[in-house]
Structure 1
Amino acid sequence: MEQDPLSKLRDIHIPEPGGFWPPAPGWWVLLLVIIALVFALALWARRRRQKNAWYRIANRDLDRLANRAAVTAKWFSELNGLLKQSAMARYPNRHPEALSGAEWIDFLLETSPKDRIASRPTVTAMVQSCYQATPDCSPDDAIRFARLWMGGKKC
């Protein structure tokens, strides 16, 4: 009989390293957070795209109007109609569809992003050109103002 109890001890065995699968609970939580963030970002982007659909449509229509610019009352009426549609989408609580004449001019200038004073003659001529046999507004100036007004602030 051996009296040495240490002789019965075995060497220390290091446990096998953990496998790749299944991950620790912290990784599952991180995965769920990432999935939630991606979902929220996709939802936000979709809502923003839907909210700004009027902007894409209005710019497309404005390009069409610019390509067939003419110094006619009908063309200026179409341009003002496009601006009114955009104003109704952009400022629905202010009821721009009911405005005409000086009120419509003031509304366009008030909601214009910049150069309000410099734009007044152009906007006045543009709105009045809808009712004149021979409009005195340049279509280029009117298109330039419309682009400035529509590009000022998206929802």
Structure 2
Amino acid sequence: MNTPGMNPLAAQLADIIEPAPIGWFPPAWGWWVLLVLLLAVIGVATWWVRVWLQQRRLLLVADTLLDQALEQYQTTQDSQRYCQSLNQIMKRYWKACAPTATHVLSLSGNDWVETVMRAAPSSGLAKNTQQALAEGAYQPLHELKVNDLDQDVRRWLRKAKPAHIRRASQEPEHV
């Protein structure tokens, strides 16, 4: 069955069978690696956002309590009550960040201030603020700079991250 113009040797060749197209599954190993990395990034980002939102909620509550304490001080001018309120707010924040560190919540005076400074040394609490936190709850302070004290405590709350507080809670106390 030679057709005119066709090479007789070509008739002996079998038809070429093309391979099947490459399917989409299973993907190559590079896609699997990319998928694992993407899931890891999503997991870390989700965890980070959750931690950030939790800290923001704690700070909002602390800010509200600080505003209330400042308003109460402005109406009563009771420095002892104001310093007690500041210490309580800071200890509530501490407890929310490190629930198992109950030994820190019983600290007072200079021991409390040293622990606070250990949690956020970069907060730069002024000497007057340190004195007010250590002594103000137990005796009236006549030269209380309320605005400076308020700003120092707010700055400490922002600098004292939950991880720093947990770390400061685990450090041995100075004897």
- The TM-score bracket by the shorter chain reads 0.5 to 0.7
- Rounded Cα–Cα distance in structure 2 between residues aligned with 1:48 and 1:104: 26
Structure 1 residue runs without a partner (length 5+): none
The structure-2 alpha-carbon separation of the partners of 1:58 and 1:8, relative to structure 1 and needing over 3 Å to count, comes to: closer
Residue 11 of structure 2 corresponds to 8
The one-letter code of the counterpart of 1:101 is: G
Q: What is the TM-score normalised by the length of structure 1?
A: 0.66
CA shift, 1:143, in A, is 1.7
SS of residue matched to 1:99:
coil
**Is 1:99 aligned to residue 101 of structure 2?**
no
- Between the two proteins, the alignment pairs up a number of residues equal to 149
Percent identity among equivalent residues? 23
Worse overlay, 9-18 or 103-112: 9-18
Residue 143 of structure 1 corresponds to 150
Structure 2 residue runs without a partner (length 5+): 164-175
CA RMSD between the two structures: 3.8
Instruction: Judge conservation of contact 2:120–2:160 (CA < 8 Å) in 1.
Output: no
Q: What is the TM-score normalised by the length of structure 2?
A: 0.60
The structure-2 alpha-carbon separation of the partners of 1:81 and 1:135, relative to structure 1 and needing over 3 Å to count, comes to: farther
Give deviations 1:12-70, integer Å, cap 9, x for gaps: 75838837x53443176357525642563366336635xx73x3344223322443412
The structure-2 alpha-carbon separation of the partners of 1:64 and 1:136, relative to structure 1 and needing over 3 Å to count, comes to: farther
